[in-house]
Amino acid sequence: MKDDTRIVHAGRHPENFRGAVNTPVYRTSTVISQNMDEWDRKHREQASTYEPDLFYGRYGTPTSKALQEAMAELEGGFKAFVYPSGVSACVTAILAFAGQGDHVLVPDSVYGPVRRISGTMFKRFGIEVEFYDPGIGSGIEARMRPQTRVVYTEAPGSMTFEMQDIPAIAAVAHRHGAVVVMDNTWATPLLYRAFDHGVDVSVHAATKYVTGHSDAMLGVATTTEACYERLKAATLDLGQVASPDDCYLALRGLRTLGVRLRQQGGAAIRVAEWLETRPEVTQVMSPALPGDPGHAIWKRDFLGASGLFAFALKPEFAGSRRTFIDALKLFALGGSWGGYESLVMPIDPPRTVTQYAYPGAGVRLHVGLEDVDDLIADLDRAFATVAS
Ligand SMILES: *Cc1c(COP(=O)(O)O)cnc(C)c1O
């Protein structure tokens, strides 16, 4: 079946909920047993599967399990787990496979908080993180060590949208016995088939497009069967759990993910192409543009573009970044992305082993569901304000 069909049906079982179309919100900690026999059965089940039907709220509810089932199916993974945030999914996916004395490779374009914990808690735990050029491809061979347990990837990169050759990286990582974790938030399960390209664990900030309405924090990690036990143990041992209300919102958002992505991705390309024609702009960073260094890989591996990209102002306009952003009316100044609304944010990404080319001049846009002509008019007006 095609994605648009699967997205409507994945994880739904109305027959289990008196015909209700959507899985209800199960708010529960305690689960009552009718008698000692049921108590014993639930405990046996919990000990043997770690994924009992309904045992205790922390082990999941029908609401969280519906989301897990839907995400695993859409992504083509074995199983999925939910987390209270995207960051908790990213971090748990690393901690599941790396410990004291281990080496983890992380792209220089990684999402900020993952960079941060690499230098704080991971360091304290004796996990050595080495940053690598996101464009390294099969050159990752030279970075592999006997202690390398995880090769972390993210494509396109946070803020600056560098593409990564995931199949090439995964081939090397697997030859060395390392697990490939990918932050697949930008593409969602619909636009990047992580498991077809050699990824072992695909993590998502479901806060973004999956929930899609800027009203919940949520993470998801989907895994192959081979990595399932390790990820499950880490997830449950760390007490990772997502609120059933947030899982419900994510399930509700998920049903319209396909149409939202088509609309927002298409509009984002139009805005990006328009920005390329602007005299104030030196570079538009989006792998969906033919001139982008990552375009060939994007075209080869991805099934579309979402609505997030960045651009840089020419040096003579860099000092006007504040004025430009303040002049925008439809693009609201805010972090996060993936909702129905357009957003703008200044970017000054930190780098360790590569150079960021546009300090003081970078602007990230998230294109929402507004009319694209109105959005372009808003940007046009802001450029006019800068000129005056
Ligand atoms: C936002 C984001 C995260 C973190 O998600 P939260 O839900 O905010 O914790 C992780 N990776 C990427 C690429 C993101 O954009």
210 DSSP assignment? T
CA of 88, closest atom in ligand 1? 9
- CATH code of domain 257-387: 3.90.1150.10
Q: Please, where in the chain does CATH 3.40.640.10 lie?
A: 3-26+61-254
C-alpha of residue 47 to centroid of ligand 1, in Å: 32
CA distance 249 to 383: 37
Tell me if residue 351 is catalytic. Answer: no
What number is the average pLDDT over the span 150-170?
A: 97
Q: Is 256 exposed, middle or buried (0-12, 13-18, 19+ CB in 10 A)?
A: middle
Q: Which of 102, 108, 165, 183 is catalytic?
A: 183
- Compute CA distances 17 → 32, 56, 61, whole Å: 19, 19, 13
Q: Is the CB of 85 under 6 A from ligand 1?
A: yes
Atom of ligand 1 nearest to the CA of 207: 7
Catalytic, out of 4, 27, 40, 58: 58
Ligand 1 atom 8: residue of nearest CA: 86
What is the Rg, in whole angstroms, of the alpha carbon atoms belonging to the chain? Answer: 22
Q: How far is CA 77 from the centre of its chain?
A: 15
Q: Which tokens sit at 205?
A: 């900030």
Give ranges for CATH 3.90.1150.10 in the chain.
257-387
Instruction: Using the mean position of ligand 1's atoms as its centre, give its distance from the Cα of residue 88 in Å.
Output: 9
- The residue contributing the CA closest to ligand 1 atom 4 is 86
Tens of pLDDT along 81-116?
Answer: 999 999 999 999 999 999 999 999 999 999 999 999
Average pLDDT (274-292) is: 98
Residue 186 has pLDDT above 80, yes or no: yes
Q: Which of 44-48, 50-54, 289-293 has the highest mean pLDDT?
A: 289-293
Work out which ligand 1 atom sits closest to the CA atom of 186: 13
Q: Is 111 one of the annotated active-site residues of the chain?
A: yes
Give me the catalytic one of 26, 83, 111, 358. Answer: 111
Atom of ligand 1 nearest to the CA of 217: 7
**Per DSSP, which regions of the chain are E strands?**
79-83, 103-107, 128-132, 148-154, 179-183, 201-205, 219-223, 281-285, 308-313, 332-333, 343-347, 362-366
Q: What is the CATH number of domain 3-26+61-254?
A: 3.40.640.10
Residue 221 pairs in a beta bridge with: 81, 203
Q: With bands split at pLDDT 50, 70 and 90, how would you rate the model's confidence at 259?
A: very high
Task: To the nearest 10°, report the CA torsion of 148, 157, 124, 236.
Answer: -80
State yes or no: is 208 an active-site residue. yes
* Residue 52 scores a pLDDT above 70: no
Q: What is the reported pLDDT for 209? A: 98
Phi, psi of 222 (to 5 degrees): -110, 140
Q: Is 58 a catalytic residue?
A: yes
Task: Tell me how far the alpha carbon of residue 30 lies from the centroid of ligand 1, in angstroms.
Answer: 31
Average predicted confidence (pLDDT) for the chain? 96
Q: What is the mean pLDDT of residues 325-354?
A: 97
Closest CA to 298 of 143, 138, 161, 120: 161
Cα–Cα dist 26/20, whole Å: 13
Lowest-pLDDT choice from 42-46, 193-197, 209-213, 230-234: 42-46
Determine if ligand 1 sits within 6 Å of the CB of residue 109. Answer: no
The structure tokens listed for 125 are 């735990």
Question: Which pLDDT score, from 0 to 100, does residue 45 have?
Answer: 85
Q: Round to whole Å and give the CA distance between 31 and 313.
A: 57
- Measured in Å, residue 301 CA sits from the centre of ligand 1 at 22
